Amino acid sequence: MNTLMRTLTICTLSMAFTIAHADSSSTDPSKACFLSLSDNPDLSVLKDKIAISDVNSQTIEMLSNEKRPTVREKASLSKWVTETEKCKKLGDAWRQTNLPGSLVTIVDQYFLKLKLMTSDLYAGKINYGTYAKNRAELFSKTNGEMIKVNEQIKSDNQSKLEKLNQEAIDAKRHQEEIDATNLQKQQEIKALNEQREQSQRNAELLLEQQKKEQAQRNAILLQQRIDAQNQLYQQQQNQVMSDFAQTLRNNANRPLPQPIVNPNTTTNCRWIGNTLNCNTY
């Protein structure tokens, strides 16, 4: 904004061509051109009549001058308008690129109004003093318009910045919510996986326990069969022994058959099981 105000004071036909958001590494080409007008020899006749390069340099004599331009001075005025228009055109493209459209419009309107005002001086409708006062008034009014526009731009930029900041905050909060949701889902998935793994381990442990219990039952059944077989075998053995003992008892009570006695022989008999064996000799 300071550069903008400085440019306004360089020449009454120039405007502020730089604002805070313009590219600070470049300069409006019109600026140097307007500065060079004060050294133009073709405009020397106007130096004590109008402020060629700085509206703020208007003297009390200029503001109170009731004279009107002479023929020679009119020629210099015409030359001055032509040169300032050339200077303006040098920066048109730069301003279109670096300034917002509202400020470019104010610049164009300023040039148009000043040219019309200069044409009134050229035609002798107004004197130099009135022209100087009108220039000062136009400068002040234009300056106010540009300040107002600049403040509006700053306000808009601030609003946009606040909006962007709020959007960034909202986006961050939304991302945090997404991250929190994802984390919760991951934790739930992890818990489910752990639960499934635990269920699988429990099932494996249960199956192993069932196998062990079945093996124990099988071992018990096998032992029971073995015990039953041993018992049956023992019973059978006992029965055999009992039968044998009974046979011995029965045989002991049975009279021995009398063999045919041969006086010249000897006969010995004995029971072997249920069979009587006799040997004669």
**Which residues have C-beta within 8 Å of that of residue 12, sequence separation ≥ 6?**
50, 51, 54, 55, 114, 135, 138, 139
Residue 180 has a pLDDT of 93
* Residue 23 Ramachandran class (φ > 0 left, ψ -120 to 50 alpha, else beta): beta
Residue 182 has a pLDDT of 94
Where are the alpha helices (H) located in the chain, listed in sequence order?
A: 2-10, 29-36, 60-64, 71-98, 101-122, 128-253
Q: Per-residue pLDDT tens for 37-96?
A: 999 999 999 999 999 988 888 999 999 999 999 999 999 999 999 999 999 999 999 999
Domain ranges of the chain: 2-157
Residue located via tokens 């400085």:
6
- The average confidence (pLDDT) of the chain is 85
Residue 242 has a pLDDT of 82
Percentage of the chain exceeding pLDDT 70: 84
Residue 246 has a pLDDT of 79
Task: Give which of 2, 6, 22 is closest to 14, Cα–Cα.
Answer: 6
Question: pTM of the entire structure?
Answer: 0.55
User: What's the CA gap between 10 and 26, in Å, rounded?
Assistant: 18
- Whether 47 contacts 61, CB under 8 Å: no
Task: Give which of 150, 156, 152, 153 is closest to 5, Cα–Cα.
Answer: 150
Is 234's pLDDT higher than 90?
no
